[in-house]
Amino acid sequence: MNLVFKNQHQQLEGALSKVLGINASVKAVRHLSGGCINNAVLVTTDQGPFFVKWNHKEKHDMFLAESKGLVLLKDYSRFTIPEVLGCEIVQEESYLVLEFIENGPANQRYWEAMGVNLAALHGHHHDLFGLTYHNYIGSLHQDNTRKDQWIDFFIENRLEVPLRLALQRGVISREYADGFRSMYSRFKDLFPREKPSLLHGDLWSGNVMTASNGDPCLIDPATYYGHREMEIAFTRLFGGFDQVFYDSYQEAYPMENGFDHRQDVYNLYPLLVHLNLFGSSYLNSIDRIVRRFTD
């Protein structure tokens, strides 16, 4: 066996032993594409397959938050969610080990199940917006400090936090931030009053897999209790899901009229996140929305 492979097998055997307390012999390692942030592999062992992600130990908090989000989703949703098997620092790296989800072709009810299951997840409520712990959206810190009004949570936790970060980093000017903030007064009667819903928090096609039985499976959550329209808006930001998904969701848990008008406002959050992560090319999309809500 080539030395690089041998070292990686040993590294992963050590990690599995520390994280899961098992002495597994690694047979093969397959790198999984799609993950933008971490090393992600399928590890085939004599004790079964495992999904393993790792990164420098500084990122341990990110994996712990992801683990908690997956557990929350597994407890409160009907989706297939990978089981969290362990999360530990081993030497200089943090490892997250999950049940390996075998990919299969989507079944006939796939999009309908997406809609119905998401409606059921959103039907799980809390009294406050936010969560008892902070987590991450991509590699950015996500502030979940709890608030009892959506408009306050949305403006302070979801818009102001990434806006201030962009300002600090010099991606936007103070004048730009002031112009952005002048939109806030228009939000006063914009959002329908609803109870906080449990959200996946980062629901785009890259975070939806198909399990071997053809059902949808969700990964990589950035969970919190939020306005459910935030989640539906985000699914539409980069291409959108199948129409059957939207129809099934609407039938299971109807949304108030006027969502199409509000949708872009919710998407200011992921756009600001993208602005911080990937740069100023997202300013055009943000500007278009700001202009619509300040003119």
Query: What residues are labeled active site?
Result: 202
Instruction: Name the H helices within the chain.
Output: 3-20, 60-76, 110-122, 150-152, 161-168, 174-181, 228-237, 243-252, 259-266, 268-278, 283-294
**139 vs 263, beta carbon nearer ligand ADP:** 139
Binding-site member from 112, 202, 220, 231 for ligand ADP (CB under 6 A): 220
**101 vs 265, beta carbon nearer ligand ADP:** 101
Q: Is residue 219 near ligand ADP by the rule CB under 6 A? A: yes
Q: Is residue 28 near ligand ADP by the rule CB under 6 A? A: no
Shortest separation between residue 51's beta carbon and ligand ADP, angstroms: 4
Query: What are the phi and psi torsion angles at 220 (to 5°)?
Result: 50, 55
Binding-site member from 14, 27, 30, 34 for ligand ADP (CB under 6 A): 34
3-state SS, 9-69, equals HHHHHHHHHHHHCCCCCEEEEEECCCCCCCEEEEEEECCEEEEEEEEEHHHHHHHHHHHHH
Beta strands 224-226; 135-137: pairing state = unpaired
**51 vs 225, beta carbon nearer ligand ADP:** 51
**49 vs 179, beta carbon nearer ligand ADP:** 49
Query: What are the phi and psi torsion angles at 29 (to 5°)?
Result: -130, 125
Q: Is residue 135 near ligand ADP by the rule CB under 6 A? A: no
Residue 280, classed as helix, strand or coil, is: helix
Shortest separation between residue 96's beta carbon and ligand ADP, angstroms: 9
Query: Environment class of residue 288 by beta-carbon count within 10 Å: exposed (0-12), middle (13-18) or buried (19+)?
Result: exposed
Residues of this chain, 35-54, that bind ligand ADP according to CB under 6 A: 35-38, 40, 51, 53
Residues of this chain, 65-84, that bind ligand ADP according to CB under 6 A: 82
Q: Would you tell me which residues interact with ligand ADP (CB under 6 A)?
A: 32, 34-38, 40, 51, 53, 82, 98-101, 206, 209, 219-220
